[in-house]
Amino acid sequence: MKFDPLFTPLELGPITLKNRFVVPPMGNNFANTDGTWSRQSLAYYVERAKGGFGLITIEATVVHEGAKGGPRKPCLYNDNAIPSLAAIVQACHQYGAKVSVQLQHAGPEGNAVCAGAPLQAASSIPSSCGRDVPEPVPTEQVYELVRGYGDAARRALKAGVDAVEIHMAHGYLVSSFLSPRTNKRTDEFGGSFENRMRFPRLIVEEVRNAVGDRLAILARINSADEEPGGLDIHDSAAIARALQEAGVDGLHVSRAVHLKDEFMWAPTAIHGGFSADLITEIKRAVDIPVITVGRFTEPHYASLLVEQDRTDLVAFGRQSLADPALPEKAYQDRLEDLFPCIACLQGCVVNMYQGKPIRCLVNPALGHEAEPPAVAVQPRSIAVIGGGPAGMVAAFTAAERGHNVTLYEKSNSLGGNMILASYPPGKGDIVNMIRAYIVRCKKAGVDIRLNNEMDLEAIAATQPDAVVVATGADPLVLPIDGINDPALLFGGDVLAGRQTPGKRVLVVGGGMVGCEIADFLGELQHDVTIIEFRDNMGADMISEHRKLVMNSFQEYGIRQVNNAKVCRFYPDGVDYETPEGTVCALRGFDSVVLAMGYRNNDTLSEALIARGIETHTVGDAVRARRALDATAEAFEVASKL
């Protein structure tokens, strides 16, 4: 078999895992507001068990009343959630998966409003600017908190789980005790390494007393805090050994506190397995199984790490969101069918923070596992106009339901503007997504017709039962003097190689599109200046992506002009107005590149509706937005055709 190391069984304490594929704990906001798991929670976890994962880890579950980090967090500080957890465990067991539940007190990373209580931590150090200053846990209450972990573990045992995982990473409560950066205590829980280890040791002992040898006990730790004065790999190796001596059966090794969360949920530019060397150091320190995590999207390097004995298990977090059937597809050597995580962070991390159910740009079926699209009662003839992500999702979803689908694309390739999005540095995985969509369309039986620009009469002549308009968006061209000068270049044309800028380039527009084009040109050693109307570059970017792009700006010496309203274009630059009303010139460039965003392109919907043809408009053809919204909208429409 191709990935034998990943399909070798492994003993983890008293349990045996069928393979080395792990779903790590990920906040999903599918739980009910009363702390129980929902019907959607059940369907979500079962889908991953069905896909072949050997160990399913239930998301961070609150162990103390007053420590809830969000409105839709499951809770085990009372018995209410036991039946709903038991239902998940029983259903996952039917597919041979073992189930672990993560026990967490959010500590300084919590939410005082949701919890109805002040935040607590080892010391009164807030987790970041704008967050509440936590109250130091009184010494006597630390022992009460220890007992809470044991009580939660008993409830998990009663629900039938196979393992519990104690959350000791990412700046949450236990992590705040472990790290000298956040632990300034002078009681028996502060100061020396032994004292900082006392709280986690007591928790492990309490949990062991509660469950005996009936459950595996794991601990999730940081390999490094990635903050000055915090834990580094040397500290973490010693912590790993101490936890082994305390009686844990396995370690789940993550990385960083939330101040450096680009190491927790790495954006696109960071490669899978980027923490491998740190994991290897932990592995050298212990004799118990170690789980590694770190943007793994496919099995090749993961299998190699297991084969080299540098880890024992691999957690495929966001990849299990993008494609819950990864293990099954790897086992059957069907990786061409794999939906890859592109680390966009749009629907998982952003929604998690906002308290909304998570979604996935690549896999719009995420969150709909409890209500999958039904087989069509009567097959219909569906015409999809436009072969970008929205068009392809609509096409394969409708075809898989049994409809006869024809996909028309005016160019000679599929992918639309999403292909252009793959050109900036670190965005190459987007091509994997487009390729996976093409394969999905073909296997679903979609009739793909390239080089077909369809107008109203051409569509009507095919006599479709319904039309999905997915014609995407065109570059935004604002009514500014000189903007139609043929010497000006469009950002998409520059990315695609259709237009070549000179050495000195002015990029007009400092949103995500403009910043990524500037990054692209800077990497190619152009001398780049970027101008933006707002006071910050990349204001519409997700923070983890923005951090890396801003680092590139510094590395490449990209000059930034903010708070600048462009009022006239020239072949070699622009005039712009400051907030004070002063008009300034920015001239002398070899090329000016327009990157001011996109505007919807829909010349068909109204005419089709007027002709009496059932019409559905999706994606950027409605309004230029994030691709997350485009694929979600296409999935929803195609699920109901």
638: helix, coil or strand? helix
Q: Would you say 257 and 222 are in contact if contact means Cβ atoms under 8 Å apart? A: yes
| Beta strand pairing call for 573-577 and 583-586 | antiparallel
Per the DSSP assignment, residues forming a β-bridge with 468 are 384, 616
- What is the residue-wise DSSP string for 37-79? --HHHHHHHHHHHHTT-SEEEEEEEE-STT---STT--B-SSG
- Taking the alpha carbons of 422, 428, 433, 435 in that order, is the dihedral positive or negative? positive
CA distances to 73, 279, 330 from 606, in Å: 44, 57, 45
How many C-beta neighbours within 10 Å does residue 626 have? 17
Strand (E) or helix (H) holding 635? helix 627-640
Task: Identify the helix (H) or strand (E) that includes residue 616.
Answer: strand 615-617
In angstroms, rounded to a whole number, what is the distance separating the alpha carbons of residues 117 and 105? 13
* 631 closest CA partner among 317, 333, 383, 418: 418
List 45, 77, 149, 172, catalytic entry: 172
113 CB-near residues (< 8 Å, 6+ apart)? none
In sequence order, which ranges of 448-597 are alpha helices (DSSP H)? Answer: 456-461, 491-496, 512-523, 543-556
DSSP string, 152-164: HHHHHHHHT-SEE
Are residues 137 and 74 in contact, defined by beta-carbon separation less than 8 angstroms? no
| Cα distance between residue 469 and residue 476, in whole Å | 20
Whether the Cβ atoms of residue 216 and residue 157 lie closer than 8 Å to each other: no
- To the query of whether residue 172 is one of the catalytic residues in this protein, the response is yes
- Residue 476's alpha-carbon distances to 417, 484, 513, 595, 596, in angstroms, are 13, 12, 11, 8, 6
Find the helix or strand (DSSP H, E) in which 278 lies.
Answer: helix 276-285
Number of H helices, E strands in the chain: 21, 27
Give strand pairing partners of 284: none
Which active-site residues does the annotation give? 172
